[in-house]
Amino acid sequence: MSGGLRALCLPVAVLAAFAVPVRALELNLPGEAELTREEMQPADTYFLPVGPFADGVLPVQEIEGQITRQAWRIVNGEVTTLQLIAPLREQLAAAGYDIVFDCVADQCGGFDFRFSTEVLPAPDMLVDLFDFRFLAAQRRNGNGAEFISCLVSVSGGAGYVQLVAAGAQTVPVVAATPVAPPPPGVPASAVVAQLVSQGHVVLGDLDFASGAAALGQGPYVSLSALAAYLAGGDTRRIALVGHTDAVGGLDTNMALSRERASAVLERLVQTYGADRAQMEAHGAGYLAPVAPNTTPAGREANRRVEAVLLSGGGG
């Protein structure tokens, strides 16, 4: 990480992952939890946030060893981020973990924190930039320490939980059922429906070439639909967030992603008559991929702009 998203790395904790038998830490989530993604690496590196993003820096602790990453979706009814994080905090404390960092959205650093830390790709893990919580915990053992981070958010009426465990343990959640993720992409004509129901949507009909900020000529059904939605009430507001593939450095891609989001905003104003005051533009670079950057198709999918609902308003 570098530039505006550089990280402050605290002393490295090297975990003897191969010398210790894998143990299970059972955590209960409220409601009906579905495992949407799981990745296990016997030898990997995880940058654990241990403080809020401030002054262009995210303080992290670099951890090496066995890393387990999981994403869970809570599907039954309304749930708050506090209802998701509170029982996890209590269970970790009961299991002998010390909480080293605990924050809420803006206190974490908001947008900058979200895009400076590791998040499993959508749609397995969704993070509302204004409604998420994070905690980091550690537990000492005879071989060093074990670490767990919990990132929770609520989007589209569902709860999302990401667990990252670093050390000689796995993190199963009881009474949960694995599910396949929904198919990628949203028809251009359905962008408003997903924007309203899930809080964000990929504008899949936009056209960007690799390394280019210029938006293709169009026309674009997704932008026409967004402009019509915004025209339905002056309290409706969206953020346009640009994303890139992983070709090139982070600083270059951060700038490029902001330029792409700004290009979409300008097209909405100039061609589709949207009110500039109802929109803002941001860039996330290559930090939130939706597909592997190892294939041409994956890189193409990662070159995108998303609309994030900030305020629905009336009308």
Domain's final residue, options 178, 200, 226: 178
Tell me, yes or no, whether 183 lies in a domain. no
Tell me, yes or no, whether 157 lies in a domain. yes
* Residues 237 and 168 reside in one and the same domain: no
Residue 45 and residue 63 in contact, taking contact as beta carbons nearer than 8 Å: yes
Domain's final residue, options 130, 159, 178: 178
Tell me, yes or no, whether 250 lies in a domain. yes
* Residues 85 and 139 reside in one and the same domain: yes
**Predicted TM-score (pTM) above 0.85:** no
pLDDT of residue 255: 92
* Residues 220 and 140 reside in one and the same domain: no
* Residues 143 and 207 reside in one and the same domain: no
* Residues 8 and 110 reside in one and the same domain: yes
Per-residue pLDDT of the chain (315 residues; tens, 9 = 90+): 433 344 454 433 333 222 333 455 778 877 778 888 888 888 888 899 999 998 888 999 988 888 889 999 887 656 788 888 988 888 889 888 999 999 999 899 988 898 889 999 888 888 888 889 999 999 887 667 889 999 999 887 788 999 998 875 544 444 443 333 333 445 655 888 888 888 888 888 887 665 678 887 778 888 989 999 999 988 999 999 998 888 888 889 899 999 999 999 999 999 999 999 999 999 998 888 888 888 777 777 788 899 999 987 654
Split into its structural domains, the chain has a count of 2
Residue 131 and residue 114 in contact, taking contact as beta carbons nearer than 8 Å: no
pLDDT of residue 213: 82
CA distance 31 to 159: 10
SS (H, E, C) 6-43: EEEEEEEEECCCCCCCCEECCECCCCCEEEEEEEEEEE
* Residues 135 and 195 reside in one and the same domain: no
Tell me, yes or no, whether 283 lies in a domain. yes
Question: What residue numbers bound the domain in which 281 lies?
Answer: 188-311
* Residues 145 and 197 reside in one and the same domain: no
* Residues 89 and 155 reside in one and the same domain: yes
* Residues 75 and 155 reside in one and the same domain: yes
Question: Strand 200-202 to strand 304-311: parallel, antiparallel, or no bridges (unpaired)?
Answer: antiparallel
CA distance 20 to 143: 8
pLDDT of residue 268: 94
Residue 256 and residue 3 in contact, taking contact as beta carbons nearer than 8 Å: no
pLDDT of residue 188: 56
Give whole-number Cα distances, 308 to 126, 157, 202, 232, 245, in Å. 12, 15, 9, 17, 20
Structure tokens belonging to residue 128:
């509302």
* Residues 63 and 159 reside in one and the same domain: yes
pLDDT of residue 294: 82
What are 57-111's pLDDT values in tens digits? 899 998 888 888 999 988 765 678 888 898 888 888 988 899 999 999 989 998 8
Tell me, yes or no, whether 245 lies in a domain. yes
* Residues 265 and 224 reside in one and the same domain: yes
The 3-state DSSP class for residue 278 equals helix
Within 8 A by CB and 6+ apart from 57, the residues are 6, 7, 8
pLDDT of residue 11: 36
CATH code, 244? 3.30.1330.60
* Residues 105 and 254 reside in one and the same domain: no
Tell me, yes or no, whether 78 lies in a domain. yes
Tell me, yes or no, whether 146 lies in a domain. yes
Domain's final residue, options 120, 147, 178: 178
Tell me, yes or no, whether 307 lies in a domain. yes
